[in-house]
Copies of this chain bind each other. A is one copy, B any other.
């Protein structure tokens, strides 16, 4: 029982971290863009009016939450969704929004 409670608490923490990572407009848009397929950091940068270092930080938040992975190819680094099912959450969210 105690073990279960501990596990549960861990899972709650991890889940809330994923939500938290998605809880920023810039990061949400990054994820939406990655839904189209992997993207180079340079492409993502063009989408926003922010410093490159700021973008890089957002990417690392998403990466730490396990939402995205990165892969270097040549001079560039490409990010992609770890799990396409992340997108399903967005579908659900649309419904929540629609219902009000």
| A residues lining the B interface (CB < 8 Å) | 9, 11-25, 27-29, 66-67, 82-83, 85-86, 88-90, 92-93, 95-97, 99-100
Complex contacts, A16 vs chain B, CB 8 Å: 22-25, 27-28
The DSSP consensus for interface residues of chain A is: helix
Contact check, B19 vs A22: say whether CB atoms are below 8 A apart. Answer: yes
Number of copies: 2
The smallest C-beta distance from A67 to any residue of chain B, in angstroms, reads: 8
Contact check, B86 vs A89: say whether CB atoms are below 8 A apart. Answer: no
> With the chains together, A37 CA to B25 CA distance in Å?
31
> With the chains together, A24 CA to B23 CA distance in Å?
10
Given the known interface contacts A16-B25, A28-B12, the answer about A92 and B99 at a Cβ–Cβ threshold of 8 Å is no
Of A13, A20, A67, the most chain B CB neighbours within 10 A belong to: A20
Complex contacts, A97 vs chain B, CB 8 Å: 11, 14-15, 18
